[in-house]
A and B are shown apart, each in its own frame.
Chain A
């Protein structure tokens, strides 16, 4: 991974999804180090929330990407938003979303970049054939 880039967002979700999708971002862009993966596997509600809070403080990030809109990491992120209103949470994250996000360095705030990326990710979801 590109070791020169500090993390700009957390990618949180189920199982190995966060690590897998961050790995895929790195394979495609070389910018995987802009993201920190966080899995909820084996963690209770309070541990998920405290883990996300710790990563936010550690990396100074203000964006969390999650997988399921109703998943435990999304609920934890929304709880954190009560204390950190500047936090941006993007749910339903896919690979297109994250690739767009990591290329937005410097041209937008992290929150603006996350919203732009969400639009790109949504637009990428397409049914072909059938």
Chain B
């Protein structure tokens, strides 16, 4: 089955992903797409500690994820794919061998060069442009931190109506 959730979340694997999304979805695996984590055994061990033993974690670079997307779709289990940055998700959307229909903005937190859009979304101008570019490649961008929240469209995110 296709990956159930393509999520941008700068905390990567954490409680909201594993419990908030993982439990209602019946999560079987997480693809953590991060070029630094993919090269660090120590970081990988750290993230594995946060996941129940019934959930597999696959650590890959952006380039590897783009090649392997077809493999993920062939997996019968429910999967979540995570990137820590908008840039990484854009690179994946542009280079993936299969189309990505939707991208979830789950958490991009405060930084000095970012402006607040939502309680859990802060963006630079470059990140705003990158989200537009993701949509231009056919992936609908919505912000939704948890399944129980209403998904907000990209115009709603950028207007910051719900901040």
Contact = CB atoms under 8 A, between A and B. Distances in A.
B15 A44 contact: no
Contacts of A79: 46
Contacts of B11: 44-45, 48, 72
By secondary structure, the A interface counts as loop
Q: Interface majority SS on B: helix, strand, loop or mixed?
A: loop
Contact of B110 (A14, A47, A75): A47
Contacts of A69: 49-50
Given A43-B109, A43-B110, A44-B109, A70 B119 contact: no
Contacts of A67: 15
Interface residues of A, number: 18
A27 B10 CA distance: 36
B35 to A, nearest CB: 15
A75 B14 contact: yes
Interface of A: 14, 42-45, 47-48, 67-72, 74-75, 78-79, 82
Name the interface size band of chain B. Answer: 20 to 34
The 7 closest A-B pairs by CB, nearest first: A70-B50, A44-B109, A72-B14, A71-B15, A68-B15, A72-B11, A44-B10
Interface string B133-150: 000000000000000000
Contacts of A68: 15, 19, 50
A71 B14 contact: yes
B51 A70 contact: yes
Contacts of B84: 45
Given A67-B15, A78-B46, 10 more contacts: A42-B120, A44-B108, A44-B111, A45-B10, A45-B12, A48-B11, A70-B51, A71-B15, A75-B46, A75-B49
